[in-house]
Amino acid sequence: MTQNKDYTYHNPVMLQECLDGLNINPEGTYIDVTFGGGGHSRAIFEKLTTGRLISFDQDPDAKKNAWDAKNFDFVASNFAFIKNHLRLLGIKQVDGILADLGVSSHQFDEGSRGFSIRGDYPLDMRMNQSSDIDAKHIVNTYEEDELISILRKYGEVKSPGKVAGTICRARSRKEIETTGELNEILLPIAPARKENKFLAQIYQAIRIEVNNEMDVLEKFLAQTTEVLKPQGRLVIMSYHSLEDRLVKNFMKRGSFDGKIEKDFYGNILKPFTEVTRKPITPTEEELELNNRSRSAKLRIAERNDD
């Protein structure tokens, strides 16, 4: 395995729990759909002998962390297109899929990407930097009712009308171009001693809209039923309640809205069985070492026989 000299290691969240959840067969085929800094992928790869690993990431920066090996493929794409790319690689089904959702450590740390509430950087928030829509476009061009909708739906903001109105009044005077400018506009209406949480919820809502994250997650989950072999493992880590709710419903009930479908005999129709009934959360030790893990929830399910 040849390592890229620019490789930067990031502490992968709940690494051992993810590896245990995948129940890795050294001769199996595995997918990491959120390569990022490569920490999870590298650990999976090291457990393989004749097995194969395919890693996805749409962020061009992530490819710098890839390596050269005959049984490793890096796919520069959004994981919503997982089935198409596997077909191109000649792969029909795999033994396990890992997804570490949300923003990578690199994306948060790289201020110019505009994901963090700290600093003063361009309003961007695109995970795929070739995308046409960025945070600046949303903040400055969405109608007030559209802003209210995404703030309520994706940020679970308690006062979306007040936030949207404040943004619209400010942009009518001058275009909002940076995270610092947006913070300056919003901080006067933030709840006392909850400023960071307030800003984080707003940034989350804008980021999800920029990257169409919930729709992408649904498309990905729907494809896992075809991509995974019977007894194959689906291991997903989420960082906010919207993602976790989708994953939970899909694993528990086979639907995104939580509705249960039954066959003629009353058997529940669902493609997966949960390996863990409740989500796994980080240990106290990990929380001390890796602050990013504080909101992580890990769910594991196994593909049922057809």
Query: Has residue 28 got a pLDDT over 70?
Result: yes
**What band does 113 get if pLDDT is binned at 50, 70 and 90?**
confident
Residues that constitute the known binding site: 38-40, 57, 79, 100, 107
CB 107 within 8 A of CB 100: no
Range(s) for CATH 3.40.50.150 in the chain?
Answer: 2-106+213-303
For the domain covering 2-106+213-303, report its CATH number: 3.40.50.150
Of all residues in the chain, the percent with pLDDT exceeding 70 is: 94
Q: What is the pLDDT of residue 7?
A: 39
Tell me how far CA of residue 41 lies from CA of 46, 66, 129, in angstroms: 9, 9, 22
Of 66-75, 152-161, 254-263, the least confident? 254-263
Q: What is the pLDDT of residue 10?
A: 60
For the domain covering 111-211, report its CATH number: 1.10.150.170
**What band does 206 get if pLDDT is binned at 50, 70 and 90?**
very high
The whole-angstrom separation of Cα 174 and Cα 135 is 16
Supply 20's token pair.
Answer: 């245990």
Residue 235: half-sphere exposure toward Cβ, Cα within 13 Å = 26
Task: List alpha helices for 156-240, DSSP H.
Answer: 160-173, 179-186, 195-211, 213-227
Average pLDDT, the chain: 91
Q: What is the pLDDT of residue 239?
A: 93
Residues that constitute the known binding site for S-adenosyl-L-methionine: 38-40, 57, 79, 100, 107
Range(s) for CATH 1.10.150.170 in the chain?
Answer: 111-211
